[in-house]
A and B are shown apart, each in its own frame.
Chain A
Amino acid sequence: MTTPHDEKPSTPGLTEGERDYVNRVAEHYRDTDKMAWEHGFVIGWMMICDPVEQSAHQLCETLGVSREAVDHIDKLLVPPGVLTRNELPDGEYTLAMSVDVWPKTVQHSMLALPSFHSVMEHGLKVLADAPEERRRRVANMERFFRYLGEELPAVFDRYEPSPSATS
């Protein structure tokens, strides 16, 4: 969420090249989701940090972001499995980006579009006798997801996942 204090963090622990990349990721999420700079910087850094696993404290120091920003990303990306969280004995936690969950999640959500479309069809039945104003939201989604549900799963018929990055 953008706030009046929303600014790019200082990234004291990053090289120029790393900052350039992380900044581009943050710009992307700002553009598509109006995501706060700090949140985008955490996501970008989790994609390229070394070592892969970082404590919340380390993330704050390296990026110059607030603890709340790290906690927010923890809440956002641990449940879908994109980030893995490990508890440390001192009450601290670490985050690490899994190498294959993000690509799988993208694929999974696109393959799930036909089933989302069926949910919208069901919604139209439930609202069969409702006034037009009430039905419009679901009607628009039903139309849009009907098309995507037919097209996007086919995109993966033509896709060969990489067996491993190192091969």
Chain B
Amino acid sequence: MTTETDQPPSTPGLTEDERSFVHQVAQHYRNTDNMAWNYGYVFGYLMICDPVEQRVSQIVEALGVTRDDVDHVAKLLVTPGVFEKREEPGSDDYWMWLPEHNWPKAVRYSLVNVPKFHDVLKRGLEVLEGASAERRERLVRLEHLYSHLAVEIPAVFDRFERAAAK
């Protein structure tokens, strides 16, 4: 969550180049999701850190973020299966890493599920049949968008897979 005091972290353990990349990732999520700088820095760092697997305490030190920030990102991205996490026995530290195929896989999965989500929205409009326009409007607008995406997005992936198969 962004606040007035929200500032990019100090990244004491990063080279200038690494910082420039991590910063751009954070900037992207700030732009699309209004995400706090520290979370976006953790996202970006896990894309390029060396070694790939990092202890939470290492992430906190390298980026100058808080343990809470790393825990929040773990909650956000371990759950859907983008990052992976391994407990460190006998300590409250844990390891986190980004397996090399996970990010594209997760994005692809949510995009190919767009037609199914469109079906859910259509069911919602049935349930709200006869309800006031004010109550229906949230769903009407979403369904309008998803009726378009449900046709277009699968076609994008068909082309992608045909191209990849060549």
Encode contact with A along B20-39: 1 for CB under 8 Å, 0 otherwise. Answer: 11001100100111111000
Give the residue name and chain of the A residue nearest to B164 (CB).
Answer: A147
What's the nearest-Cβ distance from chain B to residue A56, in Å? 16
For the complex, is B17 an interface residue (Cβ under 8 Å from A)? yes
- A140-B101 contact, Cβ under 8 Å, with A20-B123, A99-B141, A123-B21: yes
For the complex, is A165 an interface residue (Cβ under 8 Å from B)? yes
- A151-B160 contact, Cβ under 8 Å, with A34-B80, A119-B25: yes
By the criterion of a CB under 8 Å from any partner CB, how many residues of chain B are at the interface? 63
Instruction: Tell me what chain A mostly uses at the interface: helix, strand, loop, or mixed.
Output: helix
Bound form: Cα–Cα A145–B144 in Å: 26
- A151-B156 contact, Cβ under 8 Å, with A34-B79, A116-B28: yes
Bound form: Cα–Cα A116–B26 in Å: 10
Encode contact with A along B102-139: 1 for CB under 8 Å, 0 otherwise. Answer: 01100111100100110010011011100111111111
What's the nearest-Cβ distance from chain B to residue A31, in Å? 7
Give the residue name and chain of the A residue nearest to B15 (CB).
Answer: A126
**Which A residues are CB-close (under 8 A) to B62?**
none
What's the nearest-Cβ distance from chain A to residue B159, in Å? 7
Do B25 and A155 touch across chains, with their CB atoms under 8 A apart? no
Do B117 and A155 touch across chains, with their CB atoms under 8 A apart? no
Give the residue name and chain of the B residue nearest to A155 (CB).
Answer: B152
Encode contact with B along A130-167: 1 for CB under 8 Å, 0 otherwise. Answer: 10011011101101110110011001001101101110
Extra inter-chain contacts (17) besides given A48-B127, A126-B17, A164-B137, CB under 8 Å: A21-B123, A78-B1, A102-B138, A102-B142, A103-B141, A103-B145, A116-B28, A119-B25, A123-B48, A127-B48, A136-B100, A137-B100, A137-B103, A140-B100, A141-B47, A165-B133, A165-B141
- B contacts, CB < 8 Å to A: 1-2, 17-18, 20-21, 24-25, 28, 31-36, 47-48, 50, 52, 75, 79-81, 98, 100-101, 103-104, 107-110, 113, 116-117, 120, 123-124, 126-128, 131-142, 144-145, 148-149, 152-153, 156, 159-160, 163
- A contacts, CB < 8 Å to B: 1-2, 17-18, 20-21, 24-25, 28, 31-35, 47-48, 50, 52, 75, 78-81, 97, 99-100, 102-103, 105-109, 112, 115-116, 119, 122-123, 126-127, 130, 133-134, 136-138, 140-141, 143-145, 147-148, 151-152, 155, 158-159, 161-162, 164-166
